[in-house]
Structure 1
Amino acid sequence: MDTASADQRVGQLHRIATRKAMARLIPLMCAIYFMSFLDRTNVALAKLQLAADVGISAAAYGFGSGIFFLGYALLEVPSNLAAHKVGPRRWIARIAVTWGILSTAMMFVQGTSSFYVLRVLLGIAEAGLFPALMYMVTLWFAPHDRPVVVGWIYIAPALALMLGNPLGGALMQLDGFGGLHGWQWMFMLEGIPSVIVGIVLFFKMPERPRDARWLSAAERDVLETHAVIDGHGRADYSSANWIAALKRPTTVLIGLIYFLNQVAFVGLYFFTPAIIHQMHVDSSLVVGFLSASVGLGFLLGVLVLPRIHRRTDRDCVFLGILTAGLILGACAYLAVTNPAARIALLTVTAFFAGGVLPSYWAIAMKRLQGIQAAAGLAFVNTIGLIGGFVGPYLFGIAETSSGRSDAGFTVILIAGVLGLALVPVLARAMRSEAGVLASSGSAAQMKP
């Protein structure tokens, strides 16, 4: 058999194995990420009721919504190093069970202090979930498949925004039933399923290809050969092996651009129900349905944009185009006053702000592997999570000073402009790093 025929057979086997892995793993990853996103964002629907029932102001709500991300960021890198050591399956299941319990406990909020404490604890419990999922992607999938895989995973939060807002709005209609407020029912009935999903995942999700009984031996081998992997639990944990990833300019710059994205996007989805309420929509159920416009834009973005990214090797050009789209969407929103047009522009803004997310991770994963992937991806997420704190906080300040929830679109515009300014800096850093790797013979040159 000639070399070309052998390569074709291996390529075909890899495509078949990849499809099997996607079909088995992506639903589990989506389920766990769906529940995490639902449990961290359902507080947006409770904003007005928390103000009326327990006296939480707009500024306190913005701070409490964002402080979740500080608790998350605090343990992000240590948590993902633990996932690398004990295995992502066990660690992700642990995360799901603990955050599900704490999400349910949100029903016991009595005032600003308890609101802050539970939001911090919820963030600490969830720390490491997303980078652990990204780490699993590096164990299972070849680099050219990762944008699409990550795009599929991002369908989960998009659906959580689309379905979660109407679902939460419906659960809020239980106000008074059994002596509980509607927001208490929502936190309880959306927190308990997270515990169940975590338990199911523990028994159903293999850690890496060689653990999957539903793959043939050849399929296991070809997946591990094409993926960038290492032996978790047996790596050297000295600082030289993982702090190096944190010092790389490309890692830091991707994290900073991701930070600015999260300032814009997290602020947007935490304040969308309040923005729509100020369009003279009073029903919690209607607010929930209209708030799904952000989830729709997010969903369309993660379905369409990763597939376009897969066809280009100019990562930074692609990032620049999407960031410019976000800026134009924010400018258009600020320029119009018609409610229907503004709801449509919520969808457009979310299309660019959310649709770009798989590209950040695909770019970062090209440059990280093994213990460096565990630490580096967690570090990128940590920087982004700080943006998740800053965004709602700035939106809350903007609303308090202006009296308008949609004043936060100015925050989106500024964050987008700053992010666009960093894209050429990232391109230069990527060219420099690729040149060093190519000259050392350790990697092929990657185009920015």
Structure 2
Amino acid sequence: MTTQLAGDGSNELHRLATHKAMLRLIPLMCAIYFMSYLDRTNVSLAKARLAVDLGISASAYGLGAGIFFLGYALLEVPSNLAAHRFGPRRWIARIAVTWGALSAAMMFVTGEWSFYIIRVLLGVAEAGLFPALMYMVTLWFAPKDRSVAVGWIYTAPALALVIGNPLGAAFMQMDGLAGLHGWQWLFLLEGLPTVVVGVVLWFKLPEKPADARWLSNDEARVLEARAVPDAAHARIFSQDWVAALKQPATILIGLIYFLNQVAFVGLVFFTPAMIQQMHVKSSLMVGVLSSSVGIGFLLGVLVLPRIHRRVTNDCVYLGVLTAGLVVSAIAFISSTHLLAQLALFVATAFFAGGVLPLYWAIAMKRLHGIQAAAGLALINTIGLIGGFVGPYLFGLAESASGKSAAGFSVVVAASVLGLILVPLLAKAIRSESRAAASLNELRLNIEP
């Protein structure tokens, strides 16, 4: 049956099944990732009030904002192995409920140490969410469709920035209601809905095509067949998950992702502060203008993965996008006009956020089964450390210069280093492809 489904006559069936999976599965995955990004970044809107109400300095805020990613990174690989063991549906729902509760608990912060502790616990609770979503993509979608699927998933954090900043700013206007600060309402009203989403996912999220009631048997089979085109090849490379952690291409993708996150996460957490220093007084207007980063991010993940479908050389495309990030960041540093800077917020986020699906599409071509669970988690772990380093460096830059916009020098430095690593990644991919071809040829020669 698998051979029949793999033939040319199954292309239309696969196209329709993929379209159906995109419509039914992606919105559920987007919902949880939307809440994830909303809950991890809403602290940026509370930065100024945390300084006034609790005495949390810019450098302490940068440490607390970034330390979330340390807790997250420590448990990425074991958490995603648990997702492989227990099933992504159960594990993602568990993650959502625990981190939603902890996000709401941010309202009880009283100073720097409680701020640090809850941010670490929040990262621990959320560990494994994104690689579990990426692992699900490898179970459902053919390699040619994955960058688009991941691009749709990345619309969730982009929309969280576009919608979340104005929404969070509106919650901040509730200051004094029921004796709570505005930032306490912010954490409470954005944390509890995550628990609800987690419960919904427990009942509604199918783990693999065979579990989806809205797919016919033939549709489920063709999705699974195309998701892993060569099952025998996949078994050879999937038996030892530790091997995935040693592959040079996996490590290099992780390092490039790390540098991207240094730049992009720092930008996300410090954009409201930069807007405030542009003499924007209204907290609501700060939230609205800060959504410029989300707009650029959203445009990037909608446009760039679709161009990637027509690109034959992944690393050349990756290099072009990374160079675009360098240019836009340098242009921001050189600009002094408010409207130009807002446009460059959009451009910088377009490249920094729009490139993200490409990292995962490159990695997914080389990882299958439990190796995908482990390798994708390792890449995300390395990237998450960048999510810690970025806000911390942005905080140090602001403390040293007195200007939040000084963080753009961090964007330039990180992006240049990432650009230098792209040719090394291309070389590692070529070497691994030759080794895989040799091993596959050896397998064909020894099999009866």
Structure 2 length normalisation: TM-score?
0.95
Please give the per-residue CA displacement for 1:226-281, whole angstroms capped at 9, x wherever unaligned.
112999xxx99x9x711100000000000000000000000000000000000011
Note if contact 1:138-1:229 (Cα within 8 Å) is conserved in structure 2.
Answer: no
**Shift of residue 340, structure 1, vs aligned partner:** 1.1
Note if contact 1:230-1:370 (Cα within 8 Å) is conserved in structure 2.
Answer: no
| Structure 2 partner of 1:266 | 265
| Aligned mates of 1:135, 1:6 — CA distance in 2 | 22
Note if contact 2:75-2:128 (Cα within 8 Å) is conserved in structure 1.
Answer: yes
| Secondary structure of 1:44's aligned partner | helix
| Structure 1 partner of 2:179 | 179
Give matches, 1:167-246, under 5 Å: 167-228=167-228, 241-246=240-245
Over 4 Å off, 4+ runs: 3-6
**Shift of residue 282, structure 1, vs aligned partner:** 1.5
| Aligned mates of 1:424, 1:49 — CA distance in 2 | 44
Note if contact 1:229-1:369 (Cα within 8 Å) is conserved in structure 2.
Answer: no
Question: Residues 414 and 34 from structure 1, CA distance in 2 versus in 1: closer, same or farther, beyond 3 angstroms?
Answer: same
The count of residues paired between Structure 1 and Structure 2 equals 436
Please give the per-residue CA displacement for 1:155-209, whole angstroms capped at 9, x wherever unaligned.
0000000000000001100011111000000000000000000000110011101
Q: Which amino acid aligns with 1:129?
A: L
Question: Residues 374 and 97 from structure 1, CA distance in 2 versus in 1: closer, same or farther, beyond 3 angstroms?
Answer: same
| Aligned mates of 2:268, 2:92 — CA distance in 1 | 25
| Secondary structure of 2:7's aligned partner | helix
| Aligned mates of 1:180, 1:383 — CA distance in 2 | 37
Give matches, 1:424-443, under 5 Å: 424-441=423-440
**Shift of residue 313, structure 1, vs aligned partner:** 1.9
Note if contact 2:128-2:377 (Cα within 8 Å) is conserved in structure 1.
Answer: yes
Question: Residues 442 and 129 from structure 1, CA distance in 2 versus in 1: closer, same or farther, beyond 3 angstroms?
Answer: farther
| Aligned mates of 2:325, 2:71 — CA distance in 1 | 28
- Are positions 1:66 and 2:66 aligned together? yes
Note if contact 1:71-1:120 (Cα within 8 Å) is conserved in structure 2.
Answer: yes
| Structure 2 partner of 1:278 | 277
Please give the per-residue CA displacement for 1:13-62, whole angstroms capped at 9, x wherever unaligned.
01111111111100000000000000000000000000000010000000
Q: Which amino acid aligns with 1:438?
A: A
Question: Residues 336 and 370 from structure 1, CA distance in 2 versus in 1: closer, same or farther, beyond 3 angstroms?
Answer: same
Structure 1 length normalisation: TM-score?
0.95
Q: Percent identity?
A: 72
Question: Residues 54 and 145 from structure 1, CA distance in 2 versus in 1: closer, same or farther, beyond 3 angstroms?
Answer: same
**Shift of residue 7, structure 1, vs aligned partner:** 3.2
| Secondary structure of 2:20's aligned partner | helix
Question: Residues 324 and 185 from structure 1, CA distance in 2 versus in 1: closer, same or farther, beyond 3 angstroms?
Answer: same
| Structure 2 partner of 1:95 | 95
| Structure 2 partner of 1:413 | 412
Question: Residues 4 and 194 from structure 1, CA distance in 2 versus in 1: closer, same or farther, beyond 3 angstroms?
Answer: closer
**Shift of residue 438, structure 1, vs aligned partner:** 1.5
| Aligned mates of 1:170, 1:5 — CA distance in 2 | 52
Please give the per-residue CA displacement for 1:84-109, whole angstroms capped at 9, x wherever unaligned.
00000000000000000000000000
| Aligned mates of 2:96, 2:441 — CA distance in 1 | 38
Please give the per-residue CA displacement for 1:97-147, whole angstroms capped at 9, x wherever unaligned.
000000000000000000000000000000000000000000001010000
- Are positions 1:364 and 2:357 aligned together? no
Note if contact 1:275-1:405 (Cα within 8 Å) is conserved in structure 2.
Answer: yes
Structure 1: runs of 5+ lacking an equivalent? 444-448
- Are positions 1:336 and 2:335 aligned together? yes
Note if contact 2:6-2:222 (Cα within 8 Å) is conserved in structure 1.
Answer: no
| Secondary structure of 1:46's aligned partner | helix
| Structure 1 partner of 2:138 | 138
**Shift of residue 9, structure 1, vs aligned partner:** 2.3
**Shift of residue 283, structure 1, vs aligned partner:** 1.1
Note if contact 2:5-2:222 (Cα within 8 Å) is conserved in structure 1.
Answer: no
Structure 2: runs of 5+ lacking an equivalent? 443-448
| Aligned mates of 1:400, 1:325 — CA distance in 2 | 28
| Aligned mates of 1:82, 1:13 — CA distance in 2 | 33
**Shift of residue 310, structure 1, vs aligned partner:** 1.0
Q: Which amino acid aligns with 2:389?
A: V
- Backbone CA RMSD of aligned residues: 1.9
| Aligned mates of 1:179, 1:20 — CA distance in 2 | 48
| Secondary structure of 2:70's aligned partner | helix
| Aligned mates of 1:174, 1:20 — CA distance in 2 | 42
Please give the per-residue CA displacement for 1:279-312, whole angstroms capped at 9, x wherever unaligned.
0111110000000000000000000000001111
Question: Residues 374 and 409 from structure 1, CA distance in 2 versus in 1: closer, same or farther, beyond 3 angstroms?
Answer: same
Q: Which amino acid aligns with 2:204?
A: K
Q: Which amino acid aligns with 2:419?
A: L
